[in-house]
Amino acid sequence: MVFPVAYILIAGGICACAPLFKRVASALGRLLSMAGFFVGIGVFVVAADTALEIGLFGRLLSPPIEDLTASAYPLLRYFLPLMIVLGLTLFSRPLRNIRWASLTSLGVGLLAAYLLNVTFPGLGTIILGAVFLIATLAVYMLLRFVEDIFDFVGTVLAFPPISLAVGIAAVYFGILIAIAFP
């Protein structure tokens, strides 16, 4: 039985090589980037299920860790870190330009002011406005730092030579898993 994780790795590797296909046809590169977002989510789910041995999908998607380390191909023990890097590469490519820290902080500020108004109905608009500003700024400062780190990692992983290397390695590991577990 060939485990579907081999096909997921091959599809993710092809989507990670989108900068290579973008030179041939820009529409194909955009299509692979959009499909790569969803493949990246799938890669994260499968990697988490395999690494944590949750058994969400049973043993249908990937072989047990013990089988990978005892395989005739010793490099297969490194397919989980590759899946994490591949998932991060595919998932972060379209999300790099979204400023989610500002949107989240705005929502948290509005929610804090609303909950304070519901809990204490007699508060004035000045106090509610101050609570909104304080909550919004506090959450924004915290999340902006996380957003900058995520943007940096996404920029590094979206650099075409790195993205191509991750994609080629993912295709290689997918073929190895397909060969090792027929």
**For residue 43, which of 1, 78, 11 has the smallest C-alpha distance?**
11
| pLDDT tens string 19-63 | 887 777 778 878 888 888 899 888 888 888 777 777 776 666 666
Domain-located, residue 49: yes
Tell me if 103 is assigned to some domain.
Answer: no
Q: Which amino acid, residue 130? A: A
Mean pLDDT of the chain: 82
- For residue 68, the model assigns a pLDDT of 65
Q: pLDDT category, 95, cuts 50, 70, 90?
A: confident
DSSP string, 40-87: HHHHHHHHHHHHTT--TTTTSSS--HHHHHTSS-GGGGGHHHHHHHHH
Comparing 81 with 70, which gets the higher pLDDT?
81
Residue 1 has pLDDT above 50, yes or no: no
Q: Where are the alpha helices (DSSP H) in the chain?
A: 4-16, 18-22, 26-51, 65-69, 79-95, 100-119, 125-158, 160-180
Mean pLDDT of 74-97: 80
State the pLDDT at residue 36.
Answer: 87
The pLDDT value given to residue 135: 93
Number of separate domains in the chain: 1
**36 within a domain of the structure (yes/no):** yes
Residue 94 scores a pLDDT above 80? no
**pLDDT tens track for 116-137:** 888 888 888 889 899 999 999 9
- Confidence class of residue 64 from pLDDT cuts 50, 70 and 90? low
The HSE-up count of residue 121 (CA atoms within 13 Å, CB side) is 0
Is residue 77 predicted with pLDDT exceeding 80? Answer: no
* Structural domain contains residue 16: yes
140 belongs to a structural domain? no
User: Residue 140: its pLDDT value, please?
Assistant: 93
Residue 137 lies in a domain: no
- Tell me whether residue 120 is in a domain: no
pLDDT value of position 137: 94
113 found inside a domain: no
DSSP 23: T
- Tokens representing 179 are 């060969």
Residue 32's pLDDT is: 84
- How far, in Å, CA of 73 to CA of 47, rounded? 19
- For the chain, percent of residues with pLDDT exceeding 70: 87
As a whole number of angstroms, the distance between CA 132 and CA 114 comes to 9
Reported pTM? 0.72
Task: Give the residue numbers spanning the domain of 73.
Answer: 4-98+151-180
